[in-house]
Chains A and B, each alone.
Chain A
Amino acid sequence: MNSKSLKVRTLIILAVTLAGIYFVFGPRRTPTGADFTWAGIKANLEQNINLGLDLKGGSHLVMRVKTDEYLKTLTENNAQAALTAAQDAKLPVTGSNVVADGSTYSITLNLGPDAQGAAVAEEVKKKVDLINWTEDVSANAVSWSLPSTTQTILKNQAVEQALKIIESRINAFGVKEPTLQRHGAEASAQILLQMPGVEDPERVKNLIGAESNLMLMKIVSPPNPSPVQTYPTREAALQSVGGALPPNRRVLPYAERDARPNADGTQPPPSWVVVEYPAVVDGSELRDAAAVSRTGNEADYQISFSFKPAGAQKFGEWTGRNIGNYMAVVLNDEVKSAAYIRSQIFDQGEISGQFTKATADDLALTLRSGALPAKIEYLEERTVGPSLGADSIAAGLRASLGGLAFIIVFMLFYYRGSGVNAVIALILNMLLTGAAVVMFGATLTLPGIAGFILGIGMAVDANVLVFERIREEIRAGIPVSKAIWMGFDRAFITIVDANVTTIISSLILYLYGSGPIRGFAVTLILALLINLFTAVFVSRTIYGWLLSRNPEPKSLSI
């Protein structure tokens, strides 16, 4: 190593070290005097290193959108709409069949004698969007089925839509810096939500999963002033429509939230009403919803909502025609209130009932964000309290520092002067690994710290390999200056092979592993790459510098 290349090497090392110090301890803005104080450095460090939830505390939720259910509902609704369309056109259709078993989704309209299948298909398609369905017309039936590619696309859309709705719900709720993304394979329909600092995710969980299917429907009942027509049982309600439910009717439970307990303290029995289907307007027409207090009492909130212009128009026309009739506010297939229409209403409505402030707020929020395309279920939940996270950091730090101190003492004792060389390389390795973690914006988790510690282990091994080799060469009688370079050259191949093997297996872990394993793999890969620089390039330069002062030393402190 001549003196020029020595200078170049020293400059490279200095530049890299300074950059490393800046990345780990420096601010991402113009530095001020405060950045050079102990407190300033600490604050910058905390700013730069992105701690995982297991270290800083928070909630980690994995949920799945029930996409099968989504397709089932879609198929059923389309079947209903198709039947209605055909019947409205007075075509001889005798009934409909639906298959929705998780892999096949199909609608079949059974035709009466002398029906024209093609005409029925034509008529249905005017009213119902069946563009992406495969049509099959036979002598006595018309059927549509969903090709599997379309199923995949629709499922994917449902997940994306759910993702957007969940995002607006948690943003409205005020979760700070949430991470929300698809999780696992696309077909698994999973969503990952991480919320730093949220220790008890119960309310958020309920909020995310809450259904908010609002419908305003006409109740089948004699108009006001007669009381609204209710039935004590579902069977009685069905009886009133002739035993079998026609496609344009629904029987829904009616549980008025306002209902006071009876005098003897028992709850009034639930009742049932018959409503017209489809709804006059539904939740997709909502413009806004808010929780308002009726009396100022904490437990007496209701929700007022307003419609978008198109919805208001529809609602206004309908209420104009139905003054005196009863209308049901249906939330999630349950009638929440039934009231007669006093006058034409355009864009305002309310869901009355004894909501608490929290439940009313949450309900208003879910109404504003729109309905989820399908139910979601939770697959995984992990929460770490901030104190537990801080304890883990402390324990991890304590153990690493203890291990590191021991390694340093041992290296200095066992390799003496050369031990100093190893310690410099080791500390530089830690600094640069930290800088790389900051640069790539990687998240430091507990397994990540483990990867870091093992990276240090590999760095020590690299130094040991070199030193042992130099010792061997010296024992074999080779002059010191030559022995150093031979030691490096011979150990180099071993170090590269060993590091590359581990990098390969870590890369595979990163690609195929899940969350915690990935954190481990990332820091380990970074530490190993940097190890090739510190253990070989830096350590070698230090020896070069030593030999430049005394080209032919009699002995070496090793």
Chain B
Amino acid sequence: MFQFFTELKVDWMGLRKPFVFISIAILLAGLISAAGRQLTDGGTDAFNLGVDFQGGTVLTVKFREKPTADDVRSALNSVGINESVIQDSTDKPDEKLIKIPIIEGQETAAPAPAPDANAQPQGGTTGGTQVEVGRAKVKSALDTFGKEAAADQTLEQDATAAYKIVGTDSVGPVAGEQLRDAAVIATLLGMIGILLFIAFRYDWTYAAGAVIAVFHDVLVTLAFFTVFQWEINLSVLAAMLTLVGFSVNDSIVIFDRIRENMNLNRTASLYDLTNRSINQTMSRTVVTNGLLFLAVLALVLFGGEVLRTFSLALLVGSIVGTYSTIAIASPIALWWQSKIGRAEMKDVAAEKTSGEKLASASRRSVTRRPVTR
């Protein structure tokens, strides 16, 4: 048998102070980065929000002969777009991502009575919101490099064309706000659902521990996103929700073991039981999370541009989620129990506190469901 960590005896709960210190340090770094960026004159916003959440337009453009970012920027300047982000696609050498913010003041543009015979008959979309003008403006700027391939042809098929817009994401301010609100509401409700379920299956103290740990995970991941200025878009949100699921999953595996150990050994202190449970499940933690980490790493390396931010968020989350179960969820549950007199916090894992009786409320929470075979 090839195994990891069969006989671990680590006093995890004794390490809670250094753990909390590490977490606070990361969160502070995130806070400083966010506040610093927000408050500095001319600085960026706290988070690099994608167009999904703040509105704007992103075009994925495939070029026959790729111009430099500066060329594209000056072409955009000439049509009145002064702020733009131009990136090379990391996995396709001939593609560029062009991101422009919300174009202000378009709502009031008066439709001039155009006597141009070939103009759209009063196009209906006069006035023009972000979604209507964003793509058209960038297209008019890009036309300085040559014409776009026809709508039904690829760049390869249309030999006279210089570029082709292969993807668009254009989100108006209203839709951006909607998506953002929906995301926040869904996440908070999801957490409440988790809280209620764990409270029902275990105990409020555990539910609080798990949910605070999840909050911690989301905040730490956000700290990474502000420090490194990775873009936050809808797929990052999906990744956050996934890591919430995994973090809770991890917490439950350990809580479950604590519950079982309590039942087997009613005289041991909760402090020791928690440590023992973490140690007993350590090999599962390492195998599962190791596999998750490696699978996510495969996504980061081979998943391509579209999945990149999603994979990065998961990568951070897979580490933080595992860490927080041991470093945050369990100590909080234990601390809370000690506050209400069911357990005792110790700073050194030594003195036996045998004979400590578990409160009756706690005994209710450890009732095992009958097992059928």
Q: Which of B257, B306, B310 has the most CB of A within 10 A?
A: B306
* Interface contact A383-B120, CB-CB below 8 Å: no
Among A458, A465, A512, contact of B182 (Cβ-Cβ < 8 Å): A512
Rounded to whole Å, the gap between the CB of B53 and the closest CB of chain A is 12
Give bound CA distance, A413 to B175, whole Å: 49
Interface window among B25-33, B64-72, B236-244:
B236-244
With a CB–CB cut-off of 8 A, which chain B residues contact A332? 121-122
B125 surroundings in chain A (CB, below 8 A)? 205-206, 209, 378
Residue from the list A394, A460, A493, A502 in contact with B245, Cβ < 8 A: A502
For residue B344, CB closer than 8 A to chain A, the reply is no
* Contact B193 A388, beta carbon cutoff 8 Å: no
Point out the residue from A255, A363, A516 that lies within 8 Å of B235, measured CB to CB.
Answer: A516
In the bound assembly, the distance between CA atoms of A451 and B60 in angstroms comes to 25
A380–B172 CB distance below 8 A: yes
Q: How far is the CB of A84 from the nearest CB of chain B, in Å? A: 27
Given B2, B123, B193, which contacts A206 in the complex, CB threshold below 8 Å? B123
Residue of B nearest to A259 (CB): B115
Please determine whether A501 and B256 come into contact, CB atoms closer than 8 angstroms.
Answer: no
CB distance B288 to A461 under 8 Å?
Answer: yes
Contact A387 B166 (CB under 8 A): yes
- Closest Cβ of chain B to A265, distance in Å, is 13
Which A residues lie within 8 Å of B121 (CB)?
A: 210, 331-332, 355, 359, 362-363
Q: How far is the CB of A166 from chain B (nearest CB, A)?
A: 12
- Smallest CB-CB separation from B4: which chain A residue? A414
Please, which residues of chain B bring their CB within 8 A of the CB of A382?
168-170
Given A380-B175, A410-B291, A465-B253; A399-B298 close (CB under 8 Å): yes
- Docked Cα-Cα span, A513 to B193, in Å, equals 14
Q: Hey, which chain B residues are within 8 Å of A512, CB to CB?
A: 182, 185-186, 189
Q: Are B302 and A494 in contact (CB under 8 A)?
A: no
Residue A509 contacts which of B198, B241, B306 (CB distance < 8 angstroms)?
B241
- Inter-chain CA distance A498–B179, complex, in Å, is 28
Contact A498 B252 (CB under 8 A): yes
Whole-angstrom distance between the alpha carbons of A451 and B238 in the complex?
9
Q: Check A509/B186 contact, CB under 8 A, given A206-B120, A331-B121, A492-B371.
A: yes
Bound complex: CA A392 to CA B291 (Å): 23
B197 touches which of A54, A253, A387, A504 (Cβ 8 Å):
A504
Instruction: For the complex, count residues of B whose C-beta is within 8 A of A.
Output: 93
* In the complex with contacts A378-B132, A384-B167, A403-B294, A509-B190 CB distance below 8 A: yes
With contacts A387-B166, A399-B302 known, is A356 near B115, CB below 8 A?
Answer: no
Q: Does A468 contact B (CB under 8 A)?
A: yes
CA distance A462 to B185 in the complex (A): 30
Tell me if A182 counts as interface (CB < 8 A to partner B): no
Asked if B165 and A458 make an inter-chain contact with CB atoms under 8 angstroms apart, the answer reads no
A-side contacts of B373, CB under 8 Å: 1, 485, 489
Beta-carbon contact of B122 and A508 below 8 Å: no
Establish whether residues A497 and B284, one from each chain, have CB atoms under 8 Å apart when the complex forms: no
Give which listed residue, A381, A398, A413, A513, contacts B186 with CB less than 8 A: A513
Contact among A399, A505, A513 for B307, CB-based, below 8 A: A399
CB-CB < 8 A to B136: which residues of A?
Answer: 202
- In chain A, residues 361-399, which have Cβ atoms closer than 8 Å to a Cβ of chain B? 362-363, 375, 377-385, 387-388, 391-392, 394-396, 398-399
- A380-B170, A402-B302, A447-B235 known; A505+B287 contact, CB < 8 A: no
- Chain A residues with CB under 8 Å of B170's CB are 380-382
In the bound complex, how far is the Cα of B283 from the Cα of A430, in angstroms?
Answer: 25
A501/B167 in contact, CB under 8 A:
no
Query: Cβ of A504 and Cβ of B249 under 8 Å apart?
Result: no
> Is B42 among interface residues, defined by CB-CB distance under 8 A?
no
Would you call A471 and B167 a contact (CB within 8 A)?
no
Other than the given A398-B302, A501-B197, 16 more pairs (CB < 8 A) read A255-B113, A267-B115, A359-B120, A377-B172, A382-B168, A382-B169, A395-B91, A399-B304, A403-B299, A456-B295, A461-B284, A492-B371, A494-B252, A501-B248, A505-B191, A507-B193
The 10 lowest CB-CB distance pairs between A and B, nearest first, are A395-B304, A403-B295, A385-B166, A378-B131, A209-B124, A210-B124, A379-B175, A505-B190, A512-B186, A380-B175
Contacts from A to B (Cβ < 8 Å): 1, 54, 62, 64, 184, 188, 199-200, 202-203, 205-206, 209-211, 253, 255, 257, 259, 267-268, 270, 299, 331-332, 334, 353-356, 359, 362-363, 375, 377-385, 387-388, 391-392, 394-396, 398-399, 402-404, 406-407, 410, 413-414, 446-447, 450-451, 453-454, 456-458, 460-461, 464-465, 468, 471-472, 475, 485, 489-490, 492-494, 497-498, 500-502, 504-509, 512-514, 516-517, 520, 524, 558
